[in-house]
Amino acid sequence: MERGNLDGPATPTALAVGKEYSYDDAHDPTKPAAYWFQDPPEGKTLFIVFYTQACRWSRCLGCNLPSQMAKGHVGFGALMAQVDYLLAQPEVADSAAEIKKIIVSNNGSALDEATFSSTALMYLIARANLGFPNLSVLSLETRPEYVDFAELEFIARSLKEGQTPTSLELAIGFEAFDENIRNEVFKKGLSLKAFEKMAQLLAEHKFSLKCYFMLKPVPGLTDDDAVLDIHRAIDYLGGLSGRLGAPINMHLNPTYAARGTELERAYIRGEFMPPRLHDLARAALHGRGKSISIYLGLSDEGLACAGGSFLRPGEEEILVKLEQFNKTGDWGLLDEVIQQG
């Protein structure tokens, strides 16, 4: 399928660059890598990480998510079996009527047909149409170079055939607003031109946009500089949302030192310290009154090196308040966290 409709790298490498982790080839290919529930204000969300071939970009400085994936190809039959396995789980089946949103991930790009079968994706959509009567949003994580709007239009039409009309959202890893940090240091490979072109097309098709950002994603940043980068990102996304007349969500993750990456080595050398939850609140609070929504990532998924997590002993009360912010959108909770800090 045509992939040349956006700027950016069209053929990402399959090799990790400067990373020391191994792939999880022992995982049962008929079971997803992980799944969990979220409870944002818009309704119960099922987050699914399908087990597929690892992200073919695999260059991002602090990312070891490909370590949860396979080195080689996982076929459409196995992926369809993952869908069946997931929907048969009691906690998913019992929550089917409550689920308003599904986020589809493979720790890479769900729209990269080389790693995530189109047949399996359509099978997931068919099963979702049948099994989730109140589903309102399907979110697909992807890099922009895999976005094909003819394909998205077909997916969107399919989603409207469910028991309730379901809209489409694309979730893009932006990571850092500063261009040098994002592309020269973090190695994201995402230009502002490519992002804005994609955002414009999403708005024209009435699709939504989610942007993943990381607080303090690279060594050498002070806590204040890291917070300021997120403030600038919030201002940028708020302005873009206003110009396009389209909803944008920021998913803000505090950075941990991931095993087998340069961030782990920098942490061991004393050159990187994960951000504090207090600084996460300071960064996110800038979104109050802006035209975007914000959700805070509060798990290191067990992928941090020893001592390299942003989750620190003694901050359990703060974590509870940030979790409540995710559920309620109450900005006052962030004020309380900042005052505690």
Q: What is the torsional sign of CA 119, 87, 301, 22? A: negative
CA angle 183, 191, 70 (to 5 degrees): 65
What is the pLDDT, as a whole number, of residue 17?
Answer: 55
What is the pLDDT, as a whole number, of residue 7?
Answer: 38
What is the pLDDT, as a whole number, of residue 11?
Answer: 34
- Please, are residues 326 and 282 in contact by the beta-carbon 8 Å criterion? no
- Please, are residues 21 and 55 in contact by the beta-carbon 8 Å criterion? no
Examine the pLDDT at 186 and tell me if it is beyond 80. yes
Ordered by where they begin, the domains of the chain are: 34-313 (3.20.20.70)
CA angle 278, 281, 286 (to 5 degrees): 140
What is the pLDDT, as a whole number, of residue 106?
Answer: 98
Q: Percent of the chain beyond pLDDT 70?
A: 94
Examine the pLDDT at 3 and tell me if it is beyond 60. no
Residue 277, token pair as written in the block: 């939850």
| pTM listed for this prediction | 0.93
For residue 20, what pLDDT band results from cuts at 50, 70 and 90?
Answer: confident
Mean pLDDT of 84-102: 98
- Please, are residues 79 and 117 in contact by the beta-carbon 8 Å criterion? yes
Examine the pLDDT at 276 and tell me if it is beyond 60. yes
Q: What is the torsional sign of CA 70, 74, 79, 81? A: negative
Residue 168, token pair as written in the block: 């489409």
Identity at 308, one-letter amino acid code? G
Examine the pLDDT at 282 and tell me if it is beyond 80. yes
Rg (C-alpha) for the chain, rounded Å, is 19
Average pLDDT of the chain is: 93
Q: How many whole angstroms separate alpha carbon 190 and alpha carbon 255?
A: 19
Q: What would the DSSP string read from start to end of 181-221?
A: IIIIIS-----HHHHHHHHHHHHHTT-EEEEEEEES-STT-
For residues 263 and 340, which has the higher predicted lDDT (pLDDT)? Answer: 263
Phi–psi pair at 88, nearest 5 degrees: -85, -10
For residues 18 and 301, which has the higher predicted lDDT (pLDDT)? Answer: 301
- Which range (1-10, 88-97, 330-339) has the least confidence? 1-10
- Which range (16-30, 82-96, 265-279) has the least confidence? 16-30
Examine the pLDDT at 10 and tell me if it is beyond 50. no
For residue 340, what pLDDT band results from cuts at 50, 70 and 90?
Answer: confident
For residue 16, what pLDDT band results from cuts at 50, 70 and 90?
Answer: very low
Q: What is the torsional sign of CA 131, 135, 137, 139? A: negative
For residue 19, what pLDDT band results from cuts at 50, 70 and 90?
Answer: confident
What is the pLDDT, as a whole number, of residue 12?
Answer: 38
Examine the pLDDT at 237 and tell me if it is beyond 50. yes
Examine the pLDDT at 1 and tell me if it is beyond 80. no
